Amino acid sequence: MIQDDNLKVVKPRHDSIWDIVGRKIGYFVTIVVTMIGVVVVGMVPDWDLSFIRNAKFEDWLPYFYLSCAAAVLANALLLGLDPYRLRHLMQIVTNVFSLVSMLAFISIYPLRIQDDTLDTVVHIALWLGVLGICVSFITEGVKVLVGQREKPSKGKVKVKHDEAIAQ
């Protein structure tokens, strides 16, 4: 069968071993860093800082711990199973917990830092974090719905019109 110059044969894209190992290392590092964060944030109420002492920090901790637990569980699952759509679905799940934690932090723990400029900058940064999580919902949702796509530079072969494709 003779093929047209415009026809492209698409080969399925397989991740290299280095891509897979890199992701697995990333999942493991995320678990370790998250656990370190849990320990450090758990010690914050003992610090003698007025804006922490005067706030309802302990009311926010359960939201933080739940968000961290979701991140650890998702990354532990991805250490064993790592299909494309599951990766992005787990990111959506962890984003839900992160969003709830961020909104709880903003509402329960209003920062009253003595420097008004710094207080404003911190609040803007928190709301930008919420916006970033919302944008991530959209991008990860599209990746889950669309599925894995081939990279344009890899996996596509142009077939010359004088070659035949075995069927």
C-beta of residue 140 within 8 angstroms of C-beta of residue 92:
yes
* 1 within a domain of the structure (yes/no): no
| Residue 74 CB coordination number (10 Å) | 21
* 3 within a domain of the structure (yes/no): no
Non-local (6+) Cβ contacts of 10 within 8 A are 150, 155, 156, 157
Query: What is the C-alpha separation between 87 and 76, in angstroms, rounded?
Result: 11
Tokens representing residue 148 in the block: 């894995």
* 90 within a domain of the structure (yes/no): yes
- Dihedral angle over CA of 109, 110, 114, 119, nearest 10: 110
Tens of pLDDT along the chain (167 residues)? 455 556 555 455 677 888 889 999 999 999 999 999 999 998 888 887 776 766 678 888 999 999 999 999 999 999 988 788 888 899 999 999 999 999 998 887 776 677 788 888 888 999 999 999 999 999 998 988 887 654 544 444 444 444 544 44
* 167 within a domain of the structure (yes/no): no
* 164 within a domain of the structure (yes/no): no
- What was the pLDDT predicted at 7? 55
Rg value, the chain, Cα: 23
* 130 within a domain of the structure (yes/no): yes
* 148 within a domain of the structure (yes/no): yes
- Sign of the CA dihedral running 102, 105, 110, 115: negative
Domains held by the chain: number: 1
* 140 within a domain of the structure (yes/no): yes
Domain carrying residue 124: 8-158
Beta bridge partners of 157: 9
